[in-house]
Chains A and B, each alone.
Chain A
Amino acid sequence: EVQLVESGGGLVQPGGPLRLSCVASGFTFRTYWMSWVRQAPGKGLEWVANVGPDGSEKRYATPMEGRFTISRDNARNSVFLNTNNVRAEDAAMYYCARDRDGKDLWGQGTLVTVSS
């Protein structure tokens, strides 16, 4: 089955670390760009970051630049999103998505709650 499954969300403390994972199956993962998109409660979609097929090219939304890191492991069909300094405004549902001409495959999302 062609799918993306995110994990790693939950309750995190402000200033603490966050590592989100997304495992792909059913398609040739190593040939696609991959994205992270987030959505704060009751708000719209916000593009976070993209990583190229071999992991060498990475792009970030301006608010995330320098604070978030996107990476991938093609041997494990996985894409990751990390930060060492979570802020209250990072509370959101985080989706990973496959990029072709558009984001044509999405995971179900993983919810990040930020609270001390």
Chain B
Amino acid sequence: SSELTQDPAVSVALGQTVRITCQGDSLRSYSASWYQQKPGQAPVLVIYGKNNRPSGIPDRFSASSSGNTASLTITGAQAEDEADYYCNSRDNNGYHLMFGEGTKLTVL
């Protein structure tokens, strides 16, 4: 069955670069979107399409994709980037949507 796999937890030193990945067969055909969720808050879209940022999202957030893996990169991570990050895309048939299990990012 279709699924999107993320590492449960990733850490990064303040000011360094971190990559959060999302793996799934459907990503060969469909782009992933990425969401940031801080404790007690609703998720916020940070990347959509191949590599597009909504208004208000800092340019340190970027995305890329290769084969069955989509990646979210934060270049120069800040303390305020500490959050849970989720990828979202379609299943292999393109009919249903699904989320990855989420990655908890800790900024040290």
A binds B: no
The interface of chain B, by Cβ under 8 A from chain A, is none
